[in-house]
């Protein structure tokens, strides 16, 4: 009886090289979009932290019937992102948080160095909410990812605007023309042009 040798099953070296090459090409195309997704998720997370802190201040002001502050840590001349910010009741009226004197409601840590959070106008250093839920002023916060050297002006899809109306309502800046840069108002000519001074 004559037996035929079994043929080896598996991949040839050429088939393996082609498969690895195709996998490499697919990975190269997927990594940039994954990086963009991660950047956008971080921007959204940090914007939500700020909005949450403002909502806490507003609700506590109404609930307690007093003025509540949201103030950046570290005084003037720095961005909100550099040291973080506090939500507190200013018992002695000096507009700064003092341990043992004021009631600290929440502290938010500084943001990673590749992010800038800056306010304009009356909210460069702090914002307050009164017992009726209104704020001391309106203004705009710009949150930008500057890891690619952007910031002035921001590159598309690297920034978010948090807009506070004069009565204290909070909303996110829209991107009406879908160019990846939010507008301060409903006019397309008011796009964010400088992350350090929104």
Q: For residue 75, name the pLDDT band (cuts at 50, 70, 90).
A: low
**From CA 173, how far away is CA 167, in angstroms rounded?**
17
With respect to residue 70, please indicate whether it lies within any of the assigned structural domains. Answer: no
Asked if residues 181 and 150 have their Cβ atoms less than 8 Å apart, the reply is: no
With respect to residue 91, please indicate whether it lies within any of the assigned structural domains. Answer: no
Q: What percent of the chain has pLDDT over 90?
A: 41
pLDDT in the model for residue 11: 74
Average pLDDT, integer, range 13-40? 80
With respect to residue 179, please indicate whether it lies within any of the assigned structural domains. Answer: yes
Provide the domain limits for residue 37.
16-63+112-190
Assign residue 169 the CATH number of its domain.
Answer: 3.55.40
Residues 6+ apart with CB under 8 A from 144: 115, 116, 150, 151, 154, 158, 159, 160, 195
How many folded domains does the chain comprise?
1
With respect to residue 142, please indicate whether it lies within any of the assigned structural domains. Answer: yes
Average pLDDT, integer, range 187-193? 73
pLDDT tens digits, residue range 124-137? 999 999 999 999 98
With respect to residue 153, please indicate whether it lies within any of the assigned structural domains. Answer: yes
With respect to residue 78, please indicate whether it lies within any of the assigned structural domains. Answer: no
pLDDT tens digits, residue range 100-128? 899 999 999 999 988 999 998 889 999 99
With respect to residue 145, please indicate whether it lies within any of the assigned structural domains. Answer: yes
Count CB atoms within 10 A of the CB of residue 130. Answer: 16
163: its two tokens: 């807009």
With respect to residue 1, please indicate whether it lies within any of the assigned structural domains. Answer: no
């Amino acid at each position: 009886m004559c037996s035929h040798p079994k043929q080896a099953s598996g991949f040839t070296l050429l088939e393996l090289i082609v498969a690895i090459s195709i996998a490499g090409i697919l990975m190269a195309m997927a990594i940039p979009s994954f990086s963009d997704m991660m950047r956008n998720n971080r921007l959204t997370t940090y914007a939500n932290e700020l909005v949450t802190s403002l909502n806490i201040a507003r609700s506590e002001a109404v609930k307690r019937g007093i003025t509540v502050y949201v103030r950046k840590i570290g005084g003037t001349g720095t961005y909100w992102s550099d040291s973080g910010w506090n939500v507190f009741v200013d018992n002695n009226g000096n507009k700064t948080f003092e341990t043992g004197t004021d009631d600290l409601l929440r502290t938010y840590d500084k943001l990673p160095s590749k992010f800038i959070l800056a306010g304009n106008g009356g909210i460069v250093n702090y914002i307050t909410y009164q017992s009726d839920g209104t704020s001391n002023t309106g203004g705009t916060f710009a949150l930008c990812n500057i890891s690619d050297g952007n910031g002035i002006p921001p590159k598309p899809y690297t920034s978010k605007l948090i807009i506070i109306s004069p009565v204290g309502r909070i909303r996110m800046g829209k991107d009406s023309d879908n160019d990846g840069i939010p507008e301060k108002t409903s006019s397309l000519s008011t796009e964010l042009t400088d992350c350090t001074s929104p």
